[in-house]
Structure 1
Amino acid sequence: MNQRRQRPLAIGPLRAFEAVARRLSFSAAAEELHLTQSAISRQIRALEEEIGSTLFLRGTRHVELTSDGASLQTSVVAALERLDGTVRQIRQAKGRRVVNVTSFASFASMWLLPRLPEFQRQHPDIDIRVSALDQVIDLDDSELDLALRYCPPQKMPPSSTRLFGEILTPVVSPWLLREAEAQGTPLRRPADLVNFSLAEEDDQRPSGLFLSWHRWLAEQGLADLQPRRWMFLNFTYQQIQAALSGQALALARLALVGESLERGDLVEPFGEAGRIGSPSAYWLLLSRHGGSRPEVVLFASWVRDQARLTRLALGEEQVDQEDGLG
């Protein structure tokens, strides 16, 4: 067998291949990698010779991946992402300290980010990188150090720390209440919601039922009530923005709107009587590598301290900050 076919591939041609495969353009890949188009072409030809297969179909004005090229792309993208992640971690270890956090978008925007300035004032030498995604990322397969998640207890491992539970409550702009009062359609009891617009999360998953107005109305004995208008939105913070702007009432996650209620930007029209619980809670989970880094442990401790304040604001029984699922 040709020994050339058995030796490892050079990283340079793989970079060129990934760029051309992603952009489907030799010239665009050359511009991205700061090389000439002829240099990119030479690297791709060398890679094809090395592998023994054609990776691209080259037309006059277009480039297409062959089936072998598509197979190689899947492996190359994953390999380069892991390689780049490792390099970033090494560079970070030699330079500024960075904590990589993953969380879902609404929690990051409404709970974590408003509190971050305090941590950064206390620890100006630590940078926080927040990846706000609504899908769960496996911490063992990424460069992430810490996850802040929302789910029922049975979906979290024993090493997780419960931050606080979920309480849902109707919220509304105070000026919308005043305007409704002036128009003769006051909001004094749940049945009055028939005269108002309700912002509902557009979530068809079974878990979305626990966050829905339909569940809340059913618990008030108003399962058949239809509001003046439904407003379906993708994310929690969009619903809250609709409430802040007076477009609709939102069924808010109390932990995420505490500051808005304290400032008077939002009010609970039915007070504590309108609050209902949920089987889900908010959790902190450290990755195996993150738990060994002092800056990550420090940030996790700060998050637990902030969560304790939120628990107190929610009226939850004090839970020790080191308690996990047990």
Structure 2
Amino acid sequence: MNTPRHRPLSIGPLRAFEAVARRLSFSGAAEELFLTQSAVSRQIRALEEELGTTLFQRGTRHVALTADGQLLQSTVAPLLERLDGTVRQMRQTRGRRVVNVTTFASFASLWLIPRLEAFQRDHPDMDIRVSAHDQLVDLEDSEIDIALRYCPPRGVPPTAQRLFGEVLTPVVSPWMAGQAASGQAPPLSTAADLRHHTLAEEDDQRPSGLFLSWRRWLAERGLPDLQPRRWMYLNFTYQQVQAAVSGQAVALARLPLVAEALQRGELAEPFGETGRMSAPTVYWLMLSRQGRARAEVMEFAQWILEQAAGTRSAIGEGEPPKAAPFSGD
């Protein structure tokens, strides 16, 4: 039999606590929760008795959190936010299937979103929610079903599925390539010609940024001290690609993310395949535990793997090592 100190906490007192802690007002919390102030006070007292600690310092004109109150708030606030988010999603999408995906912004913009129209045309009853940012989300402590990430092999769990590796290649707009070839613009036929052009560089000071940099590319071609006409520093990969498409700069693009743009003639490789350079980072698909238990998530994940096979073919990469798809927890 559970003792009072070991039984699960009720949601009502926790909601009352979160509202008082956020507003530092019993009357404000009561108004928000549509309760009387005395009802809120009773719920807080009951919670304090159950926990065996004081959560608020109560004064005549003020309320303040104790150290234990601050500790509880740091846990309760995000939990209630997640709970409310899940409930809102259930109410808004009742009867529909939803897959929640997290990835970084450039991958979403350049690789995932351009493909989604075809998937959703074939799956009109399935909604895909994409959360695109550079912050890593704990898959086992979130609403996320699928993560599409970018890191070295040593940084992924054994259940991760490899999508494709990384290859860097200089790219320009076809207009710029044509102007250079016709002599109407500075030449762009050898690496040394880059001294006449603007180079778009990712503004990434992390050590891993070295593998994606023009400095590494130039050093591998015996030109470590080459200075371009100017540098254009940008935060995200997709911004560098936009600079190249618009004819403003030569970008060192991630080939898996621009392979289709090259095929469509929206970009050109001035040095061809000889200008390509590999990197140790890899694109991965990861599934959360709850995602592996849902048919719609597995269906979308399988579609991602099929799309990745096309990208591997476009960049000249073979099949990844065989693995049991999405096995294990």
TM-score by length of 1: 0.82
Q: State the match for 1:192 in structure 2.
A: 193
Residue 238 of structure 1 and its aligned partner are, at CA, apart by: 1.4
Q: Match of 1:123?
A: 123
Aligned to 1:54: 56
Q: Which amino acid aligns with 1:187?
A: L
The 1:192/1:83 distance shift into structure 2, 3 A limit, reads same
Structure 1, gaps ≥5 residues long: none
1:15 to 1:247, Cα distance in 2 relative to 1, 3 A:
farther
Counterpart position of 2:109: 109
SS of equivalent residue, structure 1 residue 289: helix
Tell me the CA shift for residue 94 of structure 1.
Answer: 6.0
Supply the distance in 1 between the matched residues of 2:212 and 2:324 (Cα, whole angstroms): 26
* 8 Å Cα contact 2:163/2:284 also seen in 1: yes
Say if 2:305 is the partner of 1:311.
no
Alpha-carbon distance between aligned partners in 1 of 2:176 and 2:287, rounded to the nearest angstrom: 43
Deviations 1:74-107 (A, max 9, x none): 0211331453466468769962111111211211
Task: Say if 1:56 and 1:66, in contact at 8 Å, map to a contact too.
Answer: no
Distance, in Å, in 1 between the alignment partners of 2:212 and 2:115 is 24
Whether 2:132 is the aligned partner of 1:139: answer no
TM-score, scaled relative to structure 2: 0.81
Which whole-Å CA distance do the structure 1 matches of 2:194 and 2:244 have between them?
A: 14
CA distance in 1, matches of 2:225, 2:28: 57
- Cα RMSD over matched residues? 3.5
Amino acid at match of 1:131: S
| 1:288 to partner: Cα distance | 2.0
Q: Kindly tell me the number of residue pairs found equivalent between the two proteins.
A: 317
Superposition deviation, residue 9 in structure 1 = 6.1
Which residue of the partner structure matches residue 285 of structure 1?
286
Q: Report the Cα distance in structure 2 between the residues aligned to 1:56 and 1:258, rounded to whole angstroms.
A: 63
Partner of 1:163: 163
| Distance of 1:151 and 1:277 partners within structure 2 | 14
Write the distance in 1 (CA, Å) between the matches of 2:225 and 2:6. Answer: 70
Q: Is the 8 A contact 1:200 1:239 kept in 2?
A: yes
SS at match of 2:56: coil
CA distance in 1, matches of 2:291, 2:172: 40
Q: What is the match of residue 72 of structure 2? A: 72
- Identity of aligned pairs, percent? 62
Answer yes or no: is the 8 Å Cα contact 2:27–2:37 preserved in 1: no
Could you say what secondary structure the match of 1:230 adopts? strand
Alpha-carbon separation, structure 1, partners of 2:219 and 2:157: 33
8 A Cα contact 1:202 1:233, kept in partner: yes
Aligned residue number for residue 51 of structure 2: none
Contact 1:158–1:324 (Cα < 8 Å) also in 2: no
Larger deviation: 195-204 or 84-93?
A: 84-93
Residue 184 (structure 1) shift: 4.8
Q: Which amino acid aligns with 2:56?
A: T
Supply the distance in 2 between the matched residues of 1:27 and 1:177 (Cα, whole angstroms): 68
* Structure 2: gaps spanning 5 or more residues: 49-53
Which residue of 2 is the match for residue 257 of structure 1? 258
Opposite residue 153 of structure 2, the aligned amino acid is P
Kindly provide the CA deviation profile for residues 47-88 of structure 1, in whole angstroms up to 9, marking residues without a partner as x: 55443443688979xx97665543332021133145346646
Shift of 1:168: 0.6
Question: CA 1:160–1:317 in 2, change beyond 3 Å: closer, same or farther?
Answer: same
How far has the Cα of 1:205 moved from its partner?
Answer: 1.8
Of the structure 1 ranges 16-25 and 136-145, higher mean CA displacement relative to structure 2 is found in: 16-25
Taking the TM superposition and a 5 Å limit, the aligned residue runs for 1:37-48 are 45-46=41-42, 48=44
Measured at CA, do residues 235 and 184 of structure 1 come closer, stay the same or move farther in structure 2, by a change above 3 Å?
closer
Q: Secondary structure at the match of 1:118?
A: helix
Which amino acid in 2 is paired with 1:232? Y
Per-residue deviation, 1:281 = 1.3
